[in-house]
Chain A
Amino acid sequence: MSRRFNHKLEQQSAPAFFVRGPSPLARLAFFSALSLALMAADSRLEYLTTVRQNLQALLHPLQLLANAPSRLYRDTTEYFSTHEYLLNENRSLKKNALKQAVELQKLNSLELENNNLRQLLRTNQSIVETSVAAEIMHVGRDLFTKKIIVNRGATHNIVAGEAVVDSTGVIGQVTRIYPLSSEVTLITDKSLAIPIQVERNGLRAIAFGHGRDNTLDLPYLPTNVDIQRGDKLVTSGIDGVYPAGLAVATVSQIEITPDSPFARIICVPTGGVENHKQVLLVSIPRIAEPVETEIISAIKPDAKIKKSEIKPTAAKPVAAQPEMTKPAADNTVTGKPKLIPEAKPTVITPPNNTSKPHAAE
């Protein structure tokens, strides 16, 4: 009787205290091996992109939940912002809009003229760009990298490699796509390089992120390079990723040490890398000429340009030579007679302009 009782007691108490499954060491070995295999599969073989994408979509609701408090706070403060503040903001926005509208007019005519010149040169590089506005959801959680997460993803036709721009300049590049969000690596990240051009003299170089602080490096330039403090760096556009002419950084410091053949040039990014909420994702410029998979959409605007430009061919070069501010007005003039001899001299001038950067280098 007592024996039976003891046996029963043992059976009852056994699971609570002693049954612990495999030993911790065995578990450690198993799960370490598993995670090492995962790391190898992810970093070297890149098998896990789709897995990651799908799981990330699963996390999205939780992410929205976590973002809710800060979002609520922002919304309420916006709601209770004063009348005067709104009026002021409205006024400055209107002023900006007016200024930009004028610049846009100029841009339209310049673009037309540019296309026109390209046609004359037979360098048929009509570049099609589209952009999508996005909002920063949160800063990347990894302290070792400089990344942000924005709220546009694969469902909004974002693809990896797109340039990310804010109102003041380039801030980074889309590096990873999730269904509803995407990861942007900032230009200050160590792993990101961006081809730039010095605005003052057209010198081309490549800027690398510095990683730890929010600066960019211009490595591998000789000590006698023609770069000064305060020089503005813009995208050169030769990489085919960033549209040409976007502001990237300003040179803030140049160190020349006698024992190094290279100058140490440090630049501060122009774009608000850390302090803006809205960004623009600019699609990779597609050049119309090379055969690509999405050629149909690329050709359509090109064909339109061809038609519309047959008429103003002669008008454009004439307008381009006297002054640069005028073409806004000349844009509408279309029915001018064709003047082939006049168009020819201008054919020679563009190569000179474009070859300037080459000469500087």
Chain B
Amino acid sequence: MPPSKLKSLYLSLILAFVFLLLPWSGFALKIRPDFILLVIIFWLIRAPNLCNVGTAWFLGLFVDLATGGIFGQFALAYTITAFFAVTYQRRLVLFNHTQQLFYVFLLLMISQIVLLIIKTFSGADALGWSYFLPSIIGVILWRVAVIFGLNTGGRSRGT
């Protein structure tokens, strides 16, 4: 793999991490999409030999640090999500952009549901349906990135 790609991988991950660390509060915190997971999914689709389940796990650990929850919960959620992303990665070439969007949405939801299960086991209250808002915002962000010319590997509608 060209080193430029590796460099952009690291850069995008660090940027996503800084976005996570921004002082979100109130409603913005409630709808904050999972930037790091979005970037991981992007690289899992684009360069599965650079970014794999292990990468997702490792980044999940850092997110755990930043959120201050139980150590390992985000790691587990990201691992499971990355597994599904990698398993169906080769089929993705056949998807068009809308199908890909649905697929990304499902991946984001998987991560959130895994987190919800872990949280419920540790005794947290349910937050209601608004808990899944970050997934929707995340998908919208993905769509916006595609519109602005990010190559996510999907085929455009006409071709």
Contact = CB atoms under 8 A, between A and B. Distances in A.
Centre residue among A24, A41, A65 by max chain B CB count within 10 A: A24
B125 A190 contact: yes
Contacts of A274: 25-26
B134 to A, nearest CB: 9
Interface stretch (B2-10, B78-86, B94-102, B140-148): B78-86
A39 B65 contact: no
B72 interface: yes
B49 A143 contact: no
Interface residues of B, number: 46
B91 to A, nearest CB: 13
A16 B71 CA distance: 35
Given A32-B79, A48-B71, A70-B22, A141 B54 contact: no
Contacts of B29: 139, 141, 143
Interface string B47-63: 01100111011001110
B23 interface: yes
A172 to B, nearest CB: 14
Interface string B11-26: 0001001111111111
A144 B125 contact: yes
A27 B53 contact: yes
B24 A139 contact: yes
A220 interface: no
Instruction: Label chain A's interface by main secondary structure.
Output: helix
Contact of B53 (A31, A36, A52): A31
Contact of B23 (A24, A139, A212): A139
Interface residues of A, number: 47
Interface stretch (A56-64, A119-127, A232-240): A56-64
A144 B119 contact: yes
Nearest to A140: B68
A37 B72 CA distance: 8
A139 B19 CA distance: 14
A66 B68 contact: no
B73 interface: yes
Contacts of B57: 31, 34-35
A37 B75 CA distance: 11
B54 A27 contact: yes
A42 B124 contact: no
Contact of A35 (B20, B21, B22, B60): B60
A147 B108 CA distance: 25
A62 B66 CA distance: 10
Nearest to B30: A143
B52 A141 contact: no
Contacts of A63: 21
Contact of A212 (B24, B67, B127): B127
Given A27-B83, A39-B76, A141-B24, 4 more contacts: A28-B79, A35-B60, A59-B62, A59-B65
Interface of A: 16, 20-21, 24-25, 27-28, 31-32, 34-39, 41-43, 48, 52, 55-56, 59, 62-63, 65-67, 69-70, 137-145, 147, 149, 176, 183, 190, 211-212, 274
A-B complex: 4 closest residue pairs judged by Cβ atoms: A38-B72, A66-B21, A42-B71, A138-B23
